[in-house]
A and B are shown apart, each in its own frame.
Chain A
Amino acid sequence: AQSVTQPDIHITVSEGASLELRCNYSYGATPYLFWYVQSPGQGLQLLLKYFSGDTLVQGIKGFEAEFKRSQSSFNLRKPSVHWSDAAEYFCAVGADNNAGNMLTFGGGTRLMVKP
């Protein structure tokens, strides 16, 4: 069965500092990987996804993530954090790209941004 671990429950960074949120997954085949962001009172917004090809993927809001098969990781990065990035971030792995594709989510990382 697939699983996702986000080791950091909370992270605090200063505005303008760089950010890396960790995600490790377990899945038998080639995974489909996603990062979602949830602002307070909001739904889940897709930041970026990896299906195949280039292992460094670019997303919205200046985020990027790198798929490293050898480390079973898909860490999310941003070079300079803005106060509006404060939110909860979820990494997810998808099953095969067919009917009934279900996402398995990590526990989330809550990001706080200091002025």
Chain B
Amino acid sequence: EPEVTQTPSHQVTQMGQEVILRCVPISNHLYFYWYRQILGQKVEFLVSFYNNEISEKSEIFDDQFSVERPDGSNFTLKIRSTKLEDSAMYFCASTRFGNEAFFGQGTRLTVV
């Protein structure tokens, strides 16, 4: 069964460093998303991406964040200068028609 794949599963980084979280969505899907879940809190929407551009983003998704689909298969989330409060589980998701989202296993980001 096709699945969304995220790498790495766990990333530790120093405050102020740049990190790139990688995702391989399901191959025939057209819409891509990033969500995050701070420990003990709700899963929160960050950004959606369609037709090679951001279609929607939340207040959380500020100038420190960016997304890219560099090669037609990967979908990346970059955080330019990480802060302690960026520590969270980051989930990538994809859908074919913008409805039923399939989620990856998540990347746990720890900023120290």
Contact = CB atoms under 8 A, between A and B. Distances in A.
Given A100-B50, A102-B56, A43 B106 contact: yes
Given A42-B105, A44-B43, A100 B99 contact: no
B35 A103 contact: yes
A90 B56 CA distance: 22
Contact of A99 (B50, B58, B104): B50
B13 interface: no
Interface in B21-53: 31, 33, 35, 41-45, 48, 50-51
Nearest to A98: B98
Nearest to B41: A107
B6 to A, nearest CB: 8
Contact of B48 (A42, A43, A102, A108): A102
A10 to B, nearest CB: 13
Determine chain B's interface SS by DSSP, over half rule: strand
Interface residues of A, number: 25
A53 to B, nearest CB: 14
A51 B98 CA distance: 12
A49 B31 contact: no
B101 to A, nearest CB: 6
A67 interface: no
A63 interface: no
Contacts of A104: 45
B104 to A, nearest CB: 5
Contacts of B75: none
Interface string A81-103: 00000000010101001111111
A99 B31 contact: yes
A43 B103 contact: yes
Interface of A: 32, 34, 36, 42-46, 49, 51, 90, 92, 94, 97-108
Interface of B: 4, 6, 31, 33, 35, 41-45, 48, 50-51, 55-56, 58, 91, 93, 95, 97-106
Q: Lowest 10 A-B CB distances belong to which pairs? A: A100-B55, A100-B56, A44-B103, A43-B105, A105-B43, A101-B98, A102-B45, A99-B50, A43-B103, A100-B48
